[in-house]
Amino acid sequence: MYTQRTTERENLIYYLEVTDLHSQKVAGHIVDLSREGMRLVSNKPISNNEVHQFSVKLPRELGNTSPISVSVRSVWSASDINPSLFDTGFSFEWVSTSNKNKIAQLIERYKF
C-alpha cells in the first residue's frame, strides 16, 4: 500500500544508470532521489509493489566508482512526459549503512 513520502526527493544533475541485478540489464536512470526512495525513468513500465535488487552507477567525481546495491519496492508508475518512457517511484527496502552515506553524498553534491 502506498504511503506518502515524508521527505521530498531532489533532482540530480546526473541521470544515474540503474541495473537490475537479477537480469543484469539496465532498468533505467534515476531522475530524483531522497534518503527514502527514488524516481526511475525507464523504457518499460514497472508494476507496483514489486521488490527489485538494483545496482546504481555512481559518478566518477564521487571518488568511489563502485556501484551501490539497493533493494527497492515499486510504489507507483506512470507515463513520462515523453510517451516512449515510463516513470516509477520506489521506496528503499534495504540499503547498507555505507550506501546510505553515499546516497546522502549524492543528494548533497549533485542536487539542483
**pLDDT value of residue 14:** 84
The grid coordinates of residue 24 equal: 543484469
Which letter does DSSP use for residue 16 in this model?
E
**pLDDT digit string, tens, across residues 29-67:** 999 999 999 999 999 999 999 999 999 999 888 776 689
Which domains does the chain carry? 10-110 (2.40.10.220)
**pLDDT digit string, tens, across residues 4-36:** 555 677 888 889 999 999 999 999 999 999 999
Distance CA 62, CA 59 (A): 6
pTM: 0.88
For residue 51, the SS3 value is strand
DSSP-assigned states of every residue in 57-98? PPPGGGS--S-EEEEEEEEEEEE-SSTT-EEEEEEEEE--HH
The grid coordinates of residue 6 equal: 515524508
Mean pLDDT of the 95-107 span: 93
Distance CA 98, CA 72 (A): 16
Residue 45, burial from CB neighbour count under 10 angstroms (0-12, 13-18, 19+): middle
Give the ranges where 1-112 is alpha helix by DSSP (H). 97-110
